[in-house]
Amino acid sequence: MASFDIVIIGGGSAGYVAAIRCAQLGFSTACVDEYLGKDGGFALGGTCVNAGCVSSKALLDSSSKYHRLKYRLANHGISVEGVGLDLHQMVSRKDNIVRNLAQNIESQFKKHNVSWYKGHGSLVDPIHIKITPPEGMGPEETIKGSNIILATGSSPNDLPTVKVDGNKILDSAHALDFQEVPKRLGIIGSGVIGVELGSVWKRLGSEVVLLEAMDKFLSFTDEEIAAYAHGTFTSQGLEIHMNARVISAKANDRLVSVNYEDDDGHHTLEVDKLLVAVGRRPHTEGLNLDDIGVLTDEAGDILVDAHCRTNVPHIYAIGDVVRGPMLAHKGSEEGIMVAERLAGAQTSVNYDAIPWVIYTSPEIAWVGETEKELKAGAREYKIGRFSLKSNIRALAMDDHEGMVKLISDKQTDEILGVHIIAPTASELVAEAVVAMEYNASAEDIARIVHAHPTLAESIREAALAIDGRSIHG
């Protein structure tokens, strides 16, 4: 029986990063992963690389280029005739990116001597892991780990009244591989996955309708930013229905009929494809957690302390299977933290400074607390706002939809939250994350020289606006 210092179950963003860092630190390391790629073979990288973050961003970028070429370049004096869409090539490009990234992870495993075991991993006891490949893809075996890290990720949530069939009624992975652009696409859920994939197919020509059961759009974001986004996305042509509770969905050879209720009564929506995007849940099925005594909460999250230790000695859990946001970078950082703590370091993750991003157009990104959260905590604060309509670079780019909202403590001026809706907000937010890691004040940002003209100046202008000193706002 093979024996290792550390065995990681799961080869996604949390698991493969943990495996590489463990190996770098000199531990004998194995990673057990069961993910099957689009071609039916084993593939490292989990959902993020193979059917999530990477895939959707590739299609978002391609669809954005197509939409800009077809509709937005005339104002720049650029005329293009006969713009065509080769969806097969667009999806093939996405698949090539995914394949290359998965192969790169495999190369990193070989470089660092990480042993890759292919199949479903389950706990036999606190130190033994049984590996069961799919039928016909290898023998069952058992390995031993002095320490075990659980990193099995998450799965799409189901709706009891809507059955995903992979043909007409789809989950997020299916919606990355359409063979043709649906004339009419229905999406249940207007969270991150819903608005991102809705944006992809709207740009490519679909009529997109989102049905959201909650009464607030993007309720997990700052309310002011969410309201701005709602107006922007609506103006782009996304049809968003709030308080829309889906009762049933039935598919035939041509269409999907969706029955739902909202404040105005009962409605029937007919679409060519229906995407179910109602969040994700921890994927812990088949790990045998109950038999081993690893505790979980009502939501299915594995219970861990601040350093991702479970209640069972030498068993850790990271990423989407534990508390906190289901973000790839959060899981990766937890993997690094656990690896380094096993090596004797005192590494930790600052959960108060984890950036969030929604890759729409404009992008939405934020770090820290929202205004609503600060009000609930009775904390006094100040706000600085700056519109991109006053940013020279944004005007030059003809991409000036958006704003920056910076919140600081009323007494100390420490930055408490930064909320951005803007082009490349995913990149702009990094400045705010660094600032908050160092407990910076709004005045610190206001005093830093920013290159001109840049979008990043908007963050400085928002910091200046805290005290009514914005130059261009």
* Per-residue pLDDT, 373: 97
**CA–CA gap between residue 430 and residue 255 (Å, rounded):** 44
CB 249 within 8 A of CB 256: yes
* Domain annotation covers residue 64: yes
Q: How confident is the model at residue 402 (pLDDT cuts 50, 70, 90)?
A: very high
Domain boundary among 228, 247, 278: 278
Model confidence pLDDT, tens digit, residues 369-397: 999 999 999 999 999 999 999 999 999 99
Which residue matches tokens 């470089």? 111
Which residues does residue 441 pair with via DSSP β-bridges, in sequence order? Answer: 414
Model confidence pLDDT, tens digit, residues 309-334: 999 999 999 999 999 999 999 999 99
Answer yes or no: is pLDDT of 432 > 90.
Answer: yes
Query: pTM for the whole thing?
Result: 0.95
Domain that holds residue 212: 169-278
* Per-residue pLDDT, 194: 97
- The strand pair at 184-188 and 363-368 is best described as unpaired
Tell me the three state secondary structure of residue 86. coil
Answer yes or no: is pLDDT of 461 > 90.
Answer: yes
Model confidence pLDDT, tens digit, residues 113-137: 999 999 999 999 999 999 999 988 9
First to last CA, the chain: 67
Answer yes or no: is pLDDT of 473 > 90.
Answer: no
| CATH number of the domain that residue 366 is part of | 3.30.390.30
* Domain annotation covers residue 24: yes
Which residues does residue 266 pair with via DSSP β-bridges, in sequence order? Answer: 261
Model confidence pLDDT, tens digit, residues 37-96: 999 999 999 999 999 999 999 999 999 999 999 999 988 999 888 899 999 999 999 999
* Domain annotation covers residue 419: yes
| Catalytically annotated residue among 266, 314, 329, 452 | 452
| Percentage with pLDDT > 70 across the chain | 100
122 contact partners, CB below 8 Å, separation of at least 6: 129, 130, 132, 286, 287, 288
Domain boundary among 349, 372, 388: 349
* Domain annotation covers residue 50: yes
Answer yes or no: is pLDDT of 341 > 90.
Answer: yes
Q: Are residues 57 and 175 both part of a single domain?
A: no
* Domain annotation covers residue 470: no
Domain boundary among 278, 297, 331: 278
Q: Are residues 200 and 150 both part of a single domain?
A: no
Mean pLDDT of the chain: 96
Q: Are residues 123 and 11 both part of a single domain?
A: yes
Answer yes or no: is pLDDT of 364 > 90.
Answer: yes
Q: Are residues 344 and 361 both part of a single domain?
A: no
- Our count of domains for the chain comes to 3
| CATH number of the domain that residue 16 is part of | 3.50.50.60
Answer yes or no: is pLDDT of 15 > 90.
Answer: yes
Which residue matches tokens 């990423």? 319
430 contact partners, CB below 8 Å, separation of at least 6: 355
* Domain annotation covers residue 473: no
* Per-residue pLDDT, 136: 86
**CA–CA gap between residue 43 and residue 223 (Å, rounded):** 39
**CA–CA gap between residue 320 and residue 288 (Å, rounded):** 17
Q: Are residues 253 and 126 both part of a single domain?
A: no
Model confidence pLDDT, tens digit, residues 287-298: 999 999 999 999
Q: Are residues 37 and 94 both part of a single domain?
A: yes
Q: Are residues 46 and 183 both part of a single domain?
A: no
Q: Is 174 designated active site?
A: no
Average of per-residue pLDDT across 224-244: 97
> Per the structure block, which two tokens stand in for 324?
């906190």
Q: Are residues 432 and 395 both part of a single domain?
A: yes
Q: Are residues 34 and 125 both part of a single domain?
A: yes
Written as one string, the DSSP assignment of 213-278 is SSSSTTTTS-HHHHHHHHHHHHHTT-EEETT-EEEEEEE-SS-EEEEEEETTEEEEEEESEEEE--
Which residues does residue 265 pair with via DSSP β-bridges, in sequence order? Answer: 262
Q: Are residues 250 and 288 both part of a single domain?
A: no
* Domain annotation covers residue 162: no
Average of per-residue pLDDT across 149-159: 96
Q: Are residues 224 and 252 both part of a single domain?
A: yes
* Per-residue pLDDT, 232: 97
**CA–CA gap between residue 168 and residue 252 (Å, rounded):** 8
Q: Are residues 33 and 107 both part of a single domain?
A: yes
* Domain annotation covers residue 340: yes
Go through 16-55 and write b for each residue having 16 or more CB atoms within 10 A of its CB, e for each that does not.
Answer: bbbbbbbbbbebbbbbbbbbebbeeebbbbbbbbbbbbbb
